[in-house]
Structure formats: C-alpha cells, structure tokens
Amino acid sequence: MAMFGTDGMLALPWPIMIESLKKELTLFDLVSDCDQWQDRIAVVYDDRQMTVTMTYNQVMIIAGKICSLIAGQTEPPDVIGLCLEPNQFVPAVLIGVLKSGNAFLNFTASGIGYLQNVLEQLKVNILFIQCSNLKALELLLFQHVQYDTEIIHSDILQDLDIVLVKLNRPQLPKTERTYLAYCITTSGTTGTPKIVKVPHSCIVPNILYQRSSFRISQEDIVFLSSPLTFDPSIVDIFVTLSSGSCLLMTSDAMKAVPNKLLWLLTKYHVSVMQCTPTLLSRFKIKVLQTSLLSEYSPLRVIGLGGEQFPPLSHLQHWRAPGNRTKFYNLYGITEVSCWSSIYEVTASDFRKVKEDVPIGKPMIDTEYIVKDDNGKVIKNGQGYLFIGSLNRVCFLNHEDPVQAVQGKVLRPTGDLVNINSQGQILYIGRTDNQIKRHGKRIDLKEIEKVVCRSKRIKTCKILYKDSILVARNIPMTNHGKCDVEALWRIVQANFESLDGSKETQKDMEKYLTKVWKEILVINGEVKEEAMFIFSGGNSVQAVQLANQIQADLNIQLPWLLDFILNKFFGEIIKEIMLTIGNEGDTVEIDKIPNKNLVKPFFTKEGSNYDNLDNINVAMETTDTFDLHKISRKRRNSDIETIYKEQHSPENDLIKKNVCKKKTDVSALNLTPIKCKMKCVSRCNRCSDWLIHMDNTISEFKYLSYIANERDIESDLTSFTSDCYSEFNLKKIAYRIKDVPFETQSTKNTYSLSLNEKWMYNTGKCVDASPLVASLSDGRMAVFIGSHSHKFSAILFNSGELLWETTLRDRIESSACITLCGEFVVVGCYDYNLYALNSMNGDVWWKYQTGGEIKSSPVVDPVTSLVIFGSHDQCLHAVDVKVKKKVWCTMIGHGSIFASPCVSSQPHLIFCTTLGGILVALHGDNGKLLWQFNCRKPIFSSPMLTKHGICVGCVDKKIYHINFQGQETWTYTVKDLVFSSPTVVDDVILIGSNDCHLYCLSMEGYLIWKVKVESAVYSSAFTFTLNYFQQDHDITKTKTKDVQNNMYFLSNCRPQKNSKPEDISFEKSSCNLFEAEQSNKLKTDTIKINTIQKNGIIKKFVTFASTAGNLYIVDFCSGEIILKHFLSGQIFSSPVVYDNCLVVGCRNDFVYCLSIK
C-alpha cells in the first residue's frame, strides 16, 4: 500500500515504480514489449452496426506501418495532428506516432478558427484525418492556410479509412521536443481554452500509479468512455494496453444513448471504467441495480472524475445490496495531465454515508498546496488548491520549457477546497461558482448540494443568469412616476411570447383537416365523425399522418397512432388540444406500478409511454424471474380457480389476481380423438401433432416457432461475442466495407411457374393471411376471413366452399386452429374472438374484449390456451374448449395489433404494441416479466430465434432482443417495417417499405437483399423443391409422383409423400459475407413409392409486394426466380403447401396457385 510523507509527497515502498521513472520511460516504452500477449485481443470496437476485434500483434503491425509512413514525410520531433473517429484503429495510430519519436494532438472538426491558431502555434505539418471529417476541414486545410496542402496516398491508410494531409510549411530549426508525449487543449469550461503540452514524464507516472491502484490484469475489459480530446482517454488506452487487457471502444452516438451504452457494457462484461458522475447518473437507478451495480456485477472498478464526486448517499442508493464494485474519486486538471490523486471509497465510508468524499492524497511526484485569500499556505480550513511538482510539469501555450523547469511549478486549479481535522482535502466547488447577490456572497455549488440531498433528485446544476428586458421607455403614471403595474404587464407579456402561441381549436381543426386530406388524397369536408380507416386510409398512411402531426407541432404524442386508427376525427382534435393545454409540449409518464395491472396507454392523467425505459417489471409473486425455472415448468394454475378469481363483479375483463395452484393437462378437457393433425400458416408456422385417447399431446413440432432449450440455456449462462474471435487485417477491412448481394433482375433459371389452381371471391378485400389445416376427416382446408365480414373454409384440393360464416364486422385477423383440431379461432372488428367448428362453421363460443381484434391469435403448445391481443391494450388467454377466460393482462402503451408468439422452453409469451413496446409474460399466468421500448409503433409480429426475439418497427429498424429483455443488435433499413420476420435455417427474412426483402444472419448481418417495385408488407415463406438430374430417365416415373420434374420437400408436405427418414442431406452453410449463388443440398436417395431418383434439393422464398406481385427467390442468393402479378394490392402473407401457394388479395379473392 502507498505511504505518504507529511508534505503529501509519495514515500516508499514504491521501489519498482520509482526505478522505472528514473529510466525516463515514454508512453511507447509502456506498450512496446507486448510479445507475451501478442495473440490476445487488444481492442474491441462495437457500435451495433459493426463489431471488430484486433489482437496486440495486429495493433503493433499497424503502428509500425504508421511509423514508417511518418518517417517518410517528416523528421522528429514534431506534433502530428489527429482528427479521428473513435474506432478500433485509434490505439494503433497513437502508438505509431509515438514510435516515430513525435507527439500527437487529438482534435475535432469543430471550432475551425481556434483550431487554426492551435495548428499554427504547434507548427503542425502532418495530419491524419478520418475520411468522414475531411469535408468539415476542407476550408481550413485548402483555403485558410498559407501553405501548399498535399494529400499523401497509402494502402494502409485506405484500409483504415484515413487520409494523410501534409502542410508544406517553411523548414524551421527543430526544437528539442522529444520529451513531449502529446498536446491537448483544455475544454474551456473553467476559463479560456489553453494549449497544454504534456511530457512523458508527466503522464507516465499517472498511468503507472492508476494501473497499480486499479490492479489491472490481463483478464480485465476496460471501457473507453472519454472522447479522444479529453486526456482521461489517453490514460484508459495506455493503462489497458500496457497491462495486456482488452480495450472496449464504441461510437460517440452509442455513448449518447444510455440504454445502448448499458447494453454494450453488459454484453462485454466490462470490469474497469472511468467516467464522469454525469454519465453514470444518466442510467435509471433500477437499471443500475440490475446491471452495472448489481450484486454480481462484473464491473470491478469504476473511477469517477472530471466533476465533483457524487454524495455517498446517492451511490448507496444506486447500488444493489451486496454490490462489490470499487469506487474511486479521481481528481486532476489538464494543466497537470491527467489525474493528480486517487481516493478509494471504503466500506467504512459507505457505512458512515459521508456526503463529501476526499479527493485523496497526491500521487507520486505530486504535491497539493492550499492557500487562503492572502496567498498564505494553510494546513486546515478553507482555501484555494494548487498542484505542484518538480517533474510532472506540463507547458501552457507559449511557455518556454527551459525556463519553466527552474524549480517547482505550482498550477492554480481554480477549485475551492476545505482541509478537515483528519487532514483530508474536500472539494467545495469552483471559485467562479461564488456570486454576489444584493451584497451577499452566494455559493451556487452549495445550493446544488442542498437540492441533491433530496432522494427524489438524482443530480442538479445551478445556472445563474439575470433576465434583462430592454424597453424603449419606462411607462409612467399620470403623476409622472414609474408605473409598476404597467411594467409587470410588459414582463408578463414577454414571458408569454417566449412560451410561444398555442393553436386555437379552430386553427387546429383547420390544420388537421389539411393534413388528413393530403395523406388520404381526398377532397371535400372532413366531418367530425370521420374515421381514418373508413375514409380509405391504411396502417402505412396512419403512421405517416401521426409522424407529420408530431413533427409539425414539435410534440411527442405516443397515443396518436392508436387514436388515428380507432377514433373519430373530432376526438383526435380534442385529445391533441387537451394534451397541449394540460401537459405542455411533452406528455408526462407514470412509472409502471409493482403489480400485474398497468395503467392504460393514455388517460386524462397522461400517458405512461413517453421515455419509458426498458426495465424488468417486478411482480407480486413469490416466484422470481428465472428463465431456467420457467423452462422446466408446465402449466401450474388451476383453471377453475382462475375462472372464479377473474370473473369478479368489479372487473370481468382485467386480471386481478395471480394464480399459484397447480393442475395437470387433463384440466384442458381435450376431446378424446385419435388423428394426425397438421396446419400451416404465415411465417413458416408449421405444426404437426398427434392427439391420443388419454388427452395428452405427443410428437408436437412447432417448427421455426419454438426455440430449443439447449440453445436458450447456453445463451443465458454466457454470451458469445466477437471479442473472443480473431480476424486478420484483411478480414477486418473486408468486414467494414462488405456489400452483400442486392438482386433486382428476374431470372427464371429453374423454369418455375405459378398457375391458377382455383380462386375464391370473398366479397371484399382480403388482408388476412391463410391458414391451411387438416380436418378430422383427413381433408385439408384453407381458413381465411375478409372485410366482407365473411369467414370462409375452402377445400384445399378443389377450391370448393366447405362452409362460410358471416360475423358482425370486418375480419383482418388471421386464424389459428386449436390443438384438438375441432375449432378455428379468429378475431373480429366487433371486439369478439370467435371459435368456430372447423367442420361446419358453427359458432362454438365468442369472447368479448374491450376493442377491435386485429391481432392474430396463436395457440400455446404448452397449455393449449389461445393467446391474442386486442385494441383494448390487453393480452388475453382463453380456453376455447371450456369457454373460459384463463387470464388477461393489461399491457397498456397502445393497442395490440401484432400477433403474439410463444416460447415453450422457456415458457414465455411475447407481444408488441402500437405504443412501441415489446413485453415478455410468464407463460403460465400472464404476469409481466420485462418490457423493451422501441419508442415507435410496432405492427410487426415478434418471432422467436434461438436466442431471443426478432421484430421490426416503424423506426426503420429490425430489433433482436434476448430472453432477458436486452437488445443484442439492430439492423437499420431505409423505410418503415410492417412485415413480420420469418426465422428459418438460422436466417431472418423480413420485408420493408423501402421495397426490399432482407435476409439477415442471426447476428444481424446482411446476407442478401432483393429489391422489388413496391413496399413489402407481407411476411416471407420458405419451401423446398427437388430437381431431378438430367441423366435420370423420368419417363418411367408416374405422373402422380412428380410434377414437371419437381418434388416437394418441406415441413408442410402432405402425408402421401415420402417420410423424413427416407431423405439424407449433406450439411451446407451460407457464408455471411460472401452469399453463395446456390444452396445445393445433394440427396443420396429420394424414395417416391418404390422409385429411387438422384437429384438436388433447392430452397426458395416466396413473398408479396403491396403492388400485387408475388415473388419466388432463391433462398441462398436472393436471386429472383419468378414474378407473378395479381390484379390487386397484397397485404396478406403467402403460405405454401403441397406445391401450392395460397394468398389473399385486395381484389376480394383468395388464390391457390400451383408451383409448376
């Protein structure tokens, strides 16, 4: 442990460190000898768009090339200018500059005037500039300078996306500046910005001391939180790389968003970070307690500096019980770069809950001196702090180094401190924070402290500035005196003008009428009772209208889309006026209460949506949220008990209690039947099960819909990141510049065609997607609803109408079939969920909700319950067979338009809302577990992957969220996403309004995308065909066995075709960066009845564009194989079964097209 003398100077034992300092180490010396860990990961860069790692060996290779490049352009010692973005190459460039014997200056592309003076004063001749910054510096480099400017080209710089700019200044005699490590400018927050020249002798002791204090090891992952122009970043970089640790870097944009930054820190298990208290305070307290400052947080050390250390009462409140993270108070000024002292907050400090934390004793070769108002050195009491040293001396602006080192140099900090009775130095505040008001001295920092004592206040900043109102003349009374009342009226009028004028209701009505008509492209009067959808609008136009209103009014109205879709024109106007009048320019939110009932999305008290955090929702239950525990559970609630609890006189709709009793599956009362059931629906939802007499379910397959338990558990116990994979430089550069396939041409390479098998007229537009399912007699039927109120069952093979039931309102919901196969279930605009007999269409049961049901119901394979959402903002679970509601959970935050999805291992239910949130619920009882906020409406239905949930959003992003509610990646497209993802064979297929279908890897990388002529609203569906090789004699094959030289292979094939065990495959993979042109999975044998034929299996993707075109594309390359036009818009998602494609169309028809 360090020992300090009476004068504050560091005393022994520090033999190793002191001996190192005697050798006058440089920054380059600290990192030059890295052979012992050359294959370890040195740097990880992750901005969620790109993840790149570099080993120590790779860093040093690039540093060597940078050094050689500099040596060919200038002789040391010089100052090399660096205008770089924070990326994985920055450490290598810094080391390369130091290796060349020069110093570096990090700067940004802003403040051109001041920057020009800095470059001139430091005589900077060589600049490395990120290509993205070159445009902003164009005037400075090519017009404002007095010298010729030359751009030096280099292959290594091209790979790094950097240009070298040389300013051909007149040759000047070289000064002895080899002592300099870097130059930096002060921020200017404590005065006029200064140029600080930092010698190696000043910064190296800092790094050695901090490395020792933090006990940095090779196992640490250190996060670089500071910008490159702030000297703590230099400490972070060289502390890490001199220890064999891993440096984690990200973009400034990621650092600016707390949720994204938290995701990054959690993903990489960061163990050491130093940051400002402000950055830490931006995280919500509950989030801190469950992540960075949780009981088992991997964050070992956190150093807080650059601002006053927060009160320990706040830190105690931020930490979870049992948290073992070490906190350090870092103090220093740029003029004595970087830190001057470090204080470790002890367990005793936390027990005593000190409000003020000492700044600590000065580090090696550094001295603190406190002077009073008269300049006299004091040992206790209040005074002004100075930092002094004989060797740790930086040079400011034009200071002469030769003269500056004559004796000890004292630098004023501008900080007011207090020395307590224990001799500890406590920070009070800036000297310029004290002001005089009416002759009284007031310390603004002290006011901040008092305000911050309230537990309701996280942080506080006092800004003092009088308002000055300039008037042409002073109003007078009739007596010639100052008219005070008139002056107050002037002041009040001025305040009202600053607030801005509010639209009157008449003006608002005029404005809304204008944008309403523009979006719908209609003329005439818009009546108060007009509804957007019935006026000819659709979901896409509703989003456009909501976005335009919010942009024009400069206000966030999270509930607006829901109102546009479901309320009258007059109601929308009133609600906007009410919000503006009562809430101001923002909609206040309420936190989610600690119970299963969440406040409705919008009430007169305000919305509980805006700025909602992605948090875990603590529920009133004895069970904790344990995914592993859930994954091993089955249904553990008694239906009869639930029914009694749910149907209370006060509220028959919303669940009041949580059931805790157990029951077995026999409570489902499944009808004893013995038959093979199968069904196929959108997004490759394919089910195949066998119902036995004992009412149990076996051989249940929910392909592309239920995640594998093993995969989920491995995801929960550890994360896999590119941090631990190795790339050579070529691969790194390629990954950055990778441009995957984009196909536009149509090439019918495989001679496919779509031929009309049958079509059925429903009477009005068909937006629902078809359900193809088996009946109890073995026949297959297509079940689909229409805006004509009709729900139809059409025989799959012939197109004949089996039955048709007319409901009371429009049908946009797609149907599902119960596990017993007896009932088809569908939602309706009349607020009801209908269960219809699958054989004759009789209404078995209808269940009323509080809003339209556009969400498509799904069947929970674990409990057999039907799960669906409603525009009443609730998620419902019903037992169709016994005609009972089992549970109902108020989700809030907007209507539920999308279909929910169910995971059996772990048993979770996921749904999204038009308010922009994704929620996870316990599969057994519907209790909310966590929620993730996308902040924009979600029409896309969530879909399970091996490691979480994938969903699209109208914010032009595709999200992947893990089973614990944490964002693992996003992929950004160019327009809104309404399409629901299809997950199959470890890829994700999803459409966008930017006229593309995207094929993404499970890590969020683009494999290929295909461009079509209009928006892609529908979901994709994959299917497989077999092509017989040319040398096969097909003349001996019966016509019924093959169709046009093709054989259908998929999870949805009819029973008459071959068994799965008759087909064997060789494994094939698709390269993420070089999408292969074909996906040829060769078969050993394919048995059709008794005929054996050799062939190749080919996988395809089908989807529809809104303009009415059906597409079939190659699964692996995205090449368009076939395009088929239907005479109407298509919002329905196609389904393929038995070589036939079924889809609905807005020309009123349902089509069945055979694939030939």
- Segment 360-389 mean pLDDT: 91
Percent of the chain with pLDDT over 70: 70
- Segment 350-375 mean pLDDT: 88
Examine the pLDDT at 709 and tell me if it is beyond 50: no
Q: What confidence score (pLDDT) does residue 688 get?
A: 55
What confidence tier does 1026 reach under pLDDT thresholds 50, 70, 90? low
Q: Which domains does the chain have, with CATH numbers?
A: 24-275 (3.40.50.12780), 367-476 (2.30.38.10), 505-576 (1.10.1200.10), 767-981 (2.130.10.10)
Spatial distance between the Cα atoms of 740 and 1116, rounded to a whole number of angstroms: 12
Token pair recorded at residue 657 = 């209690």
431-472 residue pLDDT tens: 766 665 544 556 777 777 777 777 667 667 665 545 556 555
The values of phi and psi at residue 526, to 5°, are -100, 110
Q: What confidence score (pLDDT) does residue 1066 get?
A: 32
Look up residue 103 and give its amino acid.
Answer: A
Give the lowest-confidence range in 631-645, 713-727, 1103-1117: 713-727
- Segment 207-233 mean pLDDT: 93
Examine the pLDDT at 414 and tell me if it is beyond 80: yes
Q: What confidence score (pLDDT) does residue 496 get?
A: 56
What confidence tier does 733 reach under pLDDT thresholds 50, 70, 90? very low
Residue 140 DSSP class: I
Give the lowest-confidence range in 232-236, 429-433, 1119-1123: 429-433
Token pair recorded at residue 473 = 């003349």
Q: What confidence score (pLDDT) does residue 1156 get?
A: 84
136-176 residue pLDDT tens: 888 787 766 677 888 888 888 988 989 999 988 777 666 65
> How many angstroms separate the Cα of 250 from the Cα of each of 243, 301, 302, 728?
21, 19, 18, 20
Examine the pLDDT at 16 and tell me if it is beyond 70: no
- Segment 1054-1074 mean pLDDT: 32
Residue 141 DSSP class: I
More confidently predicted of 282 and 703:
282
Q: What confidence score (pLDDT) does residue 190 get?
A: 47
> How many angstroms separate the Cα of 793 from the Cα of each of 153, 1144, 1152?
69, 13, 13
Helices (H), 215-327: 232-241, 252-256, 258-267, 277-281, 285-289, 312-318
What confidence tier does 402 reach under pLDDT thresholds 50, 70, 90? low
Look up residue 434 and give its amino acid.
Answer: Q
Q: Which of 291, 278, 279, 283 has the alpha carbon at shortest distance from 320?
A: 291
Q: What confidence score (pLDDT) does residue 1136 get?
A: 94
Instruction: Provide the pairing of β-strand 221-223 with 246-249.
Output: parallel
**Beta carbons within 10 angstroms of residue 499's beta carbon:** 9
Residue 1051 DSSP class: T
Look up residue 1046 and give its amino acid.
Answer: M
**Beta carbons within 10 angstroms of residue 101's beta carbon:** 17
Q: What angle do CA 1022, 1024, 1027 make, to 5 degrees?
A: 150
Spatial distance between the Cα atoms of 444 and 580, rounded to a whole number of angstroms: 34
- Segment 368-377 mean pLDDT: 92
Q: What confidence score (pLDDT) does residue 591 get?
A: 31
- Segment 306-315 mean pLDDT: 87
Q: Which of 189-203, 465-479, 662-676, 772-786 has the highest mean pLDDT?
A: 772-786
What confidence tier does 671 reach under pLDDT thresholds 50, 70, 90? very low
Give the lowest-confidence range in 283-292, 543-552, 573-582, 1106-1115: 573-582
Token pair recorded at residue 388 = 């002094």
* Predicted model pTM: 0.46
- Segment 916-926 mean pLDDT: 92
Residue 784's contacts (CB-CB under 8 Å, 6 or more residues apart) are: 762, 766, 768, 769, 770, 771, 791, 792, 794, 814, 815, 1144, 1150
- Segment 541-565 mean pLDDT: 84
SS3 at position 181: strand
* DSSP notation for 839-878: TT--EEEEEE-SS---SPPEE-TTT--EEEE-TTSEEEEE
Dump strand ranges (E) for 375-450: 381-389, 395-396, 409-419, 425-430, 434-437, 440-443
As a dihedral over the C-alpha atoms of residue 544, residue 548, residue 554, residue 555, rounded to 10 degrees, the angle is: -40
Q: Which residue has the tokens 């994938």?
A: 950
